[in-house]
A and B are shown apart, each in its own frame.
Chain A
């Protein structure tokens, strides 16, 4: 619209009137924001006439296109950027700040280059003992995360109906007052467990636990059951002291990979993948992969087999059978270090022949036997590896238990180049937080559902996927719900059920969402708090290290948080003070003081004279000089340890005050495994008993490891668990009809599940997720590459049989199958997928995340034609040059390949927990498909 023709007098009059009214509060925010008593602030007239500063600027300080003059900008590709590349001054006078990535769970060390208060580059930190300076694409895209134009910058309060999307800005004071009032009421109601804290990826365990324990609720919900519950449970049955195998792939000769896409999506991602490649190229290791899909890991392997979904455990048992039958097992290890005899093992494995394994998996028996013997021949420098590919199944616990058994049979357990672990899953225990409040004692069915016996025995492995259903069923009530870095409608199964519950104020009375960005969870919140990114906040952090010894790294603010974003370390103390009732006593230190205390035991570096936090801030990381955790079971007990101990004459188990500390081995007192028998427990009496709610206190005491008898509320929820590694196939897979397929999910190397599709550099690489189908399958359904299909998914009959309380949804009159949902998607045909499988990647299909995540670009304005005029060049790559925007509106006839933001696969996925561990089965869903004929 053109400027209106107004006379000068009218403008003058308004301006003069407004100038006179400025004392009433117009303009001039400086007066209210200037720190009191600060002479350098607004009132200091001497700075107002700082001609020297003006002269120092020499010229106009900002010229479009003059990329050399202004530091601090990471220019996206464009004609001017290329013309001025490389910029020799870009990294002059930068500050290098250590940190740790958090764009996936691996938390690789990073170095931030900060210039004039702006982060201009992120690279891997060479001092990180785990990632050793490597950083993936996600890590580099942290700049997109930090400076994303749609970040949440202010607290927001809902003003419309929940889910309507109407908000207004409120101050932090208003937000904290309202939240505190609600939480105080929950606390005073006598039902503190009705305040649930629900976390997505979190790396600030200490402060969350501090807040929740101080409040008095144990209802801390997590996504562990969506991630790794079965693998952890299987490992714990063998080891007790660790739930995480750290395969020593760098020193190995043979890697047997059951379904893990370690080059793209493993929790140990870069540290693990680089070590696998070192093992292969420096050590000549062979990598064999079983995966229903030709992942980038499978494609990089020496051999790849595509088994029928969920049959990893059957293949492993077939291999175990082949090794034992061929006499290639490690007799010494089995006899000394497992709690079964070779005869027992042989008898147990007798039915699991390679031919039987072929009958269920489709992998040729000859290959199963051949690979088994190759694996055994490489022992002890050989290891299995697995992850969600084998564990995210209804039979995932048994899959992983069978897989891990192979390492015991060939004697690679704990050996260099073998199947290892460490008791340090995170920070070196040398660092200790300031005193923590006593643990909360509440119980909630959401946090500890009684139907899943191994979910919360050794570690808290909450069965996250059932919580919204349980709320809908009225099994729990939430007065207050605080979500943190969570995107449950996108990452949880049954999107529509999740949305229904989040929207219902009678089920969730009050919802506070803490996040860096508005997303599908924030959409259903009552208050949204802007969270500081991992580049703007403090933590000490570490991962289970593939060096097999613990370490400590630091995450510190590289730059000031944008807008009014804050970390929980900053506002939880303030919230605790407002809630009161004693909570405040646990939040006395400033963040910096807290960090200094926490890191105070980091030893002094003799070369620099710096220790504690000072050392971490300078070096980024500290790693102890402990020996790698090889064969820990052989460590001899000291005289001190043995004093006042007793030896059981039958088992050789050494106890002290009733607690197991070791075992006798050929006349020597050694540490052994941290299990009740001090052996690698192939037969786990504990799981058999715990499933039946039997008293396990004696076994727990013997182990010396913190574990629990099941809660009194679990009585009546017995689950039969086989003490031995075994395997079963879900009933719906056994009777899979010709027109049925099994849907699996996967992840790309540039994304995590719910948080990275907003990052332009990553979304440009992968932004959509058509379904993969084998060409033979496509042909059988009359489909061609690029066609659209309607997928209809069904609940698991196996889950319903084992956990009838989870049954919901309408049953089809003819088949009796219960439909979860239907969705239309295009297909791509790929040879690299099992013919009975349809696969879709996750991460896609956002509806409330940023415009980049939704592939919605801004319409180009006339003056914003990128690159058309170098003299007026604007770098419009971010939002206007989003070439993959899909204008088809979901119309298959208009859709173009490789456009759009994809589809949320979790619309189709049913709630399907492994009945033993509770892990969500993301790879078992039975679906039917039919071609969509374009209008």
Chain B
């Protein structure tokens, strides 16, 4: 592989890492002022303007309190919400097979999820996005000694297929359920990014 090609791959991975980081942050917690600032000013804001201009605009208009209310209404409840857990969308309950199958990925990667996500709740979309961030951060493109060929990418593909190909219905309903343009933009950004990642990893398009 040429240096240029290697650099391009590294950039691709770094870019993916950055987007996983941004999206996991947006799915796991309500925005704080620092995040809103990041989305309005500086490199991230400038780059985001081209990909998700409505997110930049919404970040400038909304207050943290308004967004916290919308975050709660869409994903936390307490009623008529859309729990962003894979098990809920596949089996209707917390702690299904999807949560169980997250465990070996965590064990092998050394990833520690946020405290409230215990073993029955590891299949939160934000945790899954964050696991991908972590994995990309761990390997930075390097091939571990003794590993199977293309080990990091193999794992990425396996993980993505099992744990990031599911949320189409969640995303569609979240977009229509959101009160704020900020969260409509978050959902669209997530959907678009996952579609691109699916192609980058050589997987079929997400269903739906």
Contact = CB atoms under 8 A, between A and B. Distances in A.
Given A10-B50, A28-B130, A879-B92, 10 more contacts: A15-B14, A15-B18, A26-B35, A53-B104, A61-B104, A64-B90, A118-B100, A147-B94, A169-B68, A861-B169
B138 interface: yes
A863 B207 contact: yes
B28 A562 contact: no
Interface residues of A, number: 101
Residue from A13, A29, A159, A856 whose CB has the most chain B CB atoms within 10 Å: A29
Contact of A18 (B22, B95, B114, B161): B22
B110 A26 contact: no
Contacts of B97: 62, 67, 70, 72-73
B111 A30 contact: yes
Contacts of A117: 103, 118-120
Nearest to B32: A25
B192 A18 contact: no
B118 A167 contact: no
21 contacts: A1-B191, A13-B47, A17-B47, A18-B19, A20-B18, A26-B24, A29-B28, A45-B110, A53-B107, A57-B108, A61-B162, A62-B101, A70-B100, A73-B97, A118-B100, A147-B93, A150-B78, A151-B94, A760-B92, A850-B79, A863-B208
A819 interface: no
B48 A14 contact: yes
Contacts, number: 308
Nearest to B139: A48
B69 A166 contact: yes
A24 B44 CA distance: 11
A518 B11 contact: no
Contact of B83 (A57, A150, A166, A522): A150
Interface of A: 1, 3-4, 6, 10-22, 24-30, 32-34, 40-42, 44-51, 53-54, 56-57, 60-62, 64, 67, 70-73, 75-76, 116-118, 143-144, 146-154, 156, 159, 165-169, 518, 522, 528, 559-564, 760, 848, 850-851, 856, 858, 861-864, 872, 874-880
B112 A27 contact: no
A73 B99 CA distance: 10
B153 interface: no
6 shortest interchain CB distances as A-B pairs: A878-B92, A15-B15, A27-B21, A19-B18, A62-B101, A18-B18
Contacts of B72: 156, 167-169
Given A15-B14, A25-B35, A26-B21, A71 B100 contact: yes
Contact of A33 (B92, B98, B114, B193): B114
B65 interface: yes
Contacts of A1: 175, 188, 191
A864 B121 CA distance: 22
A130 to B, nearest CB: 30
A425 B183 CA distance: 54
A564 B22 contact: no
Interface in B116-138: 116, 118-121, 129-130, 133-134, 137-138
Given A12-B15, A116-B100, A73 B91 contact: yes
A27 B44 CA distance: 14
Given A29-B113, A44-B110, A159-B69, A150 B81 contact: yes
Contacts of A561: 118
Contacts of B134: 28, 30, 42
Contacts of A864: 169
A168 B120 contact: no
A34 B121 CA distance: 17
Contacts of B92: 76, 149, 760, 875-880
Interface string B74-92: 0011111101010011111
A165 B72 CA distance: 11
A157 to B, nearest CB: 9
Given A42-B110, A48-B138, A24 B34 contact: yes
Contacts of B109: 47-48, 50
B77 A518 contact: yes
Contacts of B90: 64, 874-875
A24 B25 CA distance: 11
Contact of B144 (A51, A146, A169, A858): A51
A217 B73 CA distance: 36
Given A57-B104, A168-B72, A34 B95 contact: no
Nearest to B91: A875
B44 A17 contact: yes
A4 B95 CA distance: 34
A223 to B, nearest CB: 23
Interface centre among B109, B168, B188 (most CB of A within 10 A): B109
Contacts of A15: 14-19
A14 B116 contact: no
A73 B112 contact: no
A863 to B, nearest CB: 5
B6 interface: no
B71 interface: yes
A60 B25 contact: no
